[in-house]
Amino acid sequence: MKSARCISAMFLAAVTLTACSDGGSEKKPKHNDVPHSWISQQYAPSNTGYLDSADQVGKVATEIDGHTAARKRRDNDGLVFLMYRDDIVAISPQKKGSLIEVVDYAVGYARWNPHLRLAWPAPGSNEFRGGGPGSGK
């Protein structure tokens, strides 16, 4: 009887693990990681980031967020900011199109503080990455 339960438990565990896997070997971005490679393939490189010479700020932000969902989005004074796990994607208007910059969260938060401080948590604060007890922050 014990062996039948053991086999049933092992079978159930195997089915559960199989159902949870994506079944493919293609490396998918983790939720809320900036899609660096996708951005570099979609937009032209520039000295400070990437350029979309045709689309306005809002459309570019929607494209990026649609590919890999941001944790938060902030539209402020014609700029759009997308919050990811450890980075900020900032999209700003250019004479033609939009500039896309990907920077570390702490660096971006300091740089664009007037636009972000009332809406997003400061790096190192309890609200950053969810707050509360536990590891992995």
9 in a structural domain? no
pLDDT per position as a tens digit, 38-67: 999 999 999 999 999 999 999 999 999 999
pLDDT for the residue 21: 44
Total of domains in the chain: 1
Q: Is 112 helix (H, G, I), strand (E, B) or coil?
A: coil
Task: Find the domain containing 47 and state its range.
Answer: 32-118
pLDDT per position as a tens digit, 97-110: 999 999 999 999 99
| CA 67/CA 65 separation, integer angstroms | 5
135 in a structural domain? no
134 in a structural domain? no
25 pLDDT exceeds 70?
Answer: no
79 in a structural domain? yes
| CA 122/CA 120 separation, integer angstroms | 7
136 in a structural domain? no
Alpha helices in the chain (DSSP H): 2-20, 36-42, 57-67, 105-111, 113-116
Q: Torsion over CA of 7, 9, 15 and 20, rounded to 10 degrees?
A: -150
